[in-house]
Amino acid sequence: MRIRKPDWLKIRLTGGGSFPDVRSTLREYGLHTVCEEAKCPNLHDCWFHGTATIMILGDVCTRGCRFCAVKSGNPGGRTDPLEPVRVAAAVRRLNLRYVVLTMVDRDDLPDGGASHVAETVRRIKEARPDVKVEALVGDFRGMREAIDEVVLSPLDVFAHNVETVRRLTPQVRDRRASYELSLKVLRMAKETRPDVLTKSSIMVGLGESEEEVLQTMRDLRNVGVDILTVGQYLQPSPRHYPVKEYVKPETFALYREEGYRMGFREVFSGPLVRSSYRADMVFSEAVGEV
**pLDDT of 16:** 46
Three-state DSSP string of 21-86: HHHHHHHHCCCEEHHHHCCCCCHHHHHHCCCCEEEECCCEECCCCCCCCCEECCCCCCCCCCHHHH
Q: What is the dihedral of CA 230, 58, 106, 33, to 10 degrees?
A: -10
Domains of the chain: 7-287 (3.20.20.70)
With a CB cutoff of 8 Å and minimum separation 6, the contacts of 283 are 98, 132, 134, 156, 157, 197, 227, 266, 289
Report d(CA 119, CA 103) in Å as an integer.
13
**pLDDT of 162:** 98
C-alpha dist (Å) from residue 58 to 3, 35, 54, 78: 34, 14, 10, 9
- The per-residue pLDDT for range 184-217, each reduced to its tens digit, is 999 999 999 999 999 999 999 999 999 999 999 9
Flag residues of the chain having pLDDT under 50: 13-14, 16-18, 36-39
With a CB cutoff of 8 Å and minimum separation 6, the contacts of 258 are 214, 217
**pLDDT of 1:** 53
Q: Are 259 and 204 in contact (CB under 8 A)?
A: no
Q: What is the dihedral of CA 246, 252, 258, 262, to 10 degrees?
A: 90
Report d(CA 216, CA 134) in Å as an integer.
22
